[in-house]
Structure 1
């Protein structure tokens, strides 16, 4: 079939690659001049198959109220008169129950673990390099309350057979030796040893080159105006340079996906939640992380990427804005320098991106009510983590094959 993939971020590129491997004639359309130049450009760098949880969780509404008054808050709310924002927030609050959390967490772990397998296979078949490391993620707790609250995540990990280890401070130092300098600041941690790290931008560009070798065509600097639908079936896409015909279209536009499908009557509850990152050159390797450390207090990931430290996090609900606030930079600097003062923040690169979040934390992958129109979007903070598995799932669905994992509860129909 002729398949058009809309979007060349990490989700679009992996989807195109897997669709080409499945034997389809694939065209990727993106408004940027190259792959992964928006949300995938400078993300936290963590590939966290075990550390993946919905933002909507029991206790979050109360925590959110406290965060709004913190100097270095993990959540920033800039409310505006926006019915879409309010509706999305209401749906997210509705998912902050123990029952919904357990369902959503299990669903996310299922996809993430499948993605772990898919990424390993992809790495084996392509041999691409992207500053990858396979040394796990350490969720670091600064208080006993945080350690106690991790019990619900431990339960979910155990139920899904995901390897984990609860650590005391000495165990944390064994995993991340640089923490010995700040031992008094930590009470324990949760290690998910199968997690990885890597540069998402490098990975996406290397994979795009592999996709081109398989025959994938990339159309850069091309505006996507509308989907061409006739008699309940997608016929192609209208772009800034004209119409493109296709047998199937995969929408992988991240936060912009809902804007494209809304005129077709598809209500896709994906909303942009802005995240920030700093990329810092390492000046003292002995005081830098070995893999990824998730600072639970500030919800910030501190990741080793070769000779750099990538610090990423925070969730700012402010709509489709991409400004860079110095207050956010100070929060990132505070977290990393408090734990790993082994980099030169004066030479750091500051960046922000719009994460496409669903109210239940799980991405939307699958068919729509329009024949031939498919979605692969809404991965939130876990696009890099879930990309390889999501790409395999959508390639199977487009090809009419049954995916290797249950994907029935990933489609947009779950919001009906």
Structure 2
């Protein structure tokens, strides 16, 4: 089958890889000159199945107000007259119940755990490298209240047999010796030994090269303008290269996916949540993280990537703005210098921002649509790197009429009609 994949981020490229491995003729289209140049370019770097959880949950509306009042804000909201934003916010509020949180976290952990296993298999069979480490991740808590609140998440980890360690301060320092200099600032942590880290951009670029060697065609510098449909099927995609046709189509354009679907009568509840990162050279290896540390207070991930440290986080609702805002940089700098003083050169760090494609329930949208030959693989939010391999494999199985290795009934777009 001839398949056209729209998007060459980590999700689009993994989709293309597994579709090609399933025997399909695959072409990938992207407006960028290379793969992985947008949201996949400089994310926080952790592959964290155990920490896969929706942002919507009990107490989050009140917490978000307190976050807006913090000096180093993990959440920023710019009110705009955008009906899509307000509709998305209302749907997110609907998911801020205990029942919705448990349901959404369960499906997210299921996909993320599977994706980590698929990634491990890919690594062992191909030898792909991407500054990867398999040394777990550690969520550190600065208050006892944060530590006590882990009970709910631990219950879900137990339900899905995800290994975890609840650590005191000494345990945190033993796992991450660089925290010794800031031990008085934390009360404990939750470590997930099965989690991994790595550079999503390096992975995407190298897998794209491998996919090209396997026969996948990449059309870069190609703008997607409109999707044509007729009689319940896609008939072609209008691009800056002309109309491209295939037997089936995959939409993996992240935050830009909904605009292409609306003219087709498909409402995809995905909205861009802006994230920021710093990439800094390591100055003192002994004072640097071994793997990933998540600073629960500021919602910041600090990750070791070879001879660099990636500091990523914050959530800003600002539409499609790519403006780099100085206060967001200050938040990232504060978190890393407070926990790992002297570890890296923050003044010379690369400051970057990207648009995370977020659904109101946190779960990506994977699978069929109301149009016979149109499939989605998008809406992964902050977890595109964590879920990419599993999402690509699941999609390839569905498009090849093969039963996926995990349940996918609640991953497609039709769950929103049911709710």
Instruction: Report the TM-score range of the alignment, normalised by the length of the smaller protein.
Output: over 0.9
How far off is 1:150 after superposition?
Answer: 1.0
Q: Which residue does 2:264 correspond to in 1?
A: 264
Q: Which residue does 1:4 correspond to in 2?
A: 4
Q: Which residue does 2:327 correspond to in 1?
A: 327
Normalised TM-score (structure 2): 0.99
Q: How does 1:211-230 map to 2 (within 5 A)?
A: 211-230=211-230
Q: Which residue does 1:292 correspond to in 2?
A: 292
Q: How does 1:238-257 map to 2 (within 5 A)?
A: 238-257=238-257
How far off is 1:49 after superposition?
Answer: 1.3
How far off is 1:19 after superposition?
Answer: 0.3
Q: Which residue does 1:131 correspond to in 2?
A: 131
How far off is 1:66 after superposition?
Answer: 0.7
Question: SS at 1:225's partner residue?
Answer: strand
In structure 2, list runs of 5 or more residues that go unmatched.
Answer: none
Q: Which residue does 1:411 correspond to in 2?
A: 412
* Runs ≥4 residues deviating over 4 A: none
Q: Which residue does 1:237 correspond to in 2?
A: 237
Q: Which residue does 2:52 correspond to in 1?
A: 52
Q: Which residue does 2:140 correspond to in 1?
A: 140
Matched, 1:22 2:3: no
Q: How does 1:13-412 map to 2 (within 5 A)?
A: 13-341=13-341, 342-412=343-413
Q: Is the 8 A contact 1:74 1:313 kept in 2?
A: yes
Q: Is the 8 A contact 1:107 1:362 kept in 2?
A: yes
How far off is 1:228 after superposition?
Answer: 2.0
Give CA-to-partner distance per residue, 1:282-317, whole Å, 9 cap, x none: 000111000000000000000000110000000001
How far off is 1:75 after superposition?
Answer: 0.5
Question: SS at 2:227's partner residue?
Answer: strand
Question: SS at 2:280's partner residue?
Answer: strand
Q: Is the 8 A contact 1:119 1:388 kept in 2?
A: yes
Question: SS at 2:414's partner residue?
Answer: helix
Q: In structure 2, how many angstroms separate the alpha carbons of the residues matched to 1:318 and 1:405?
A: 35
How far off is 1:236 after superposition?
Answer: 2.4
Q: In structure 2, how many angstroms separate the alpha carbons of the residues matched to 1:46 and 1:26?
A: 29
Question: SS at 1:304's partner residue?
Answer: strand
Normalised TM-score (structure 1): 0.99
Give CA-to-partner distance per residue, 1:187-244, whole Å, 9 cap, x none: 0100111100000000000000110011000001001011121211112211111111
Tell me how many residue pairs correspond in the alignment.
Answer: 416
Q: In structure 1, how many angstroms separate the alpha carbons of the residues matched to 2:143 and 2:82?
A: 37
Q: In structure 2, how many angstroms separate the alpha carbons of the residues matched to 1:178 and 1:243?
A: 54
How far off is 1:344 after superposition?
Answer: 0.8
Q: In structure 2, how many angstroms separate the alpha carbons of the residues matched to 1:181 and 1:334?
A: 15
Q: Is the 8 A contact 1:51 1:137 kept in 2?
A: no
Q: In structure 1, how many angstroms separate the alpha carbons of the residues matched to 2:198 and 2:337?
A: 21
How far off is 1:170 after superposition?
Answer: 0.6
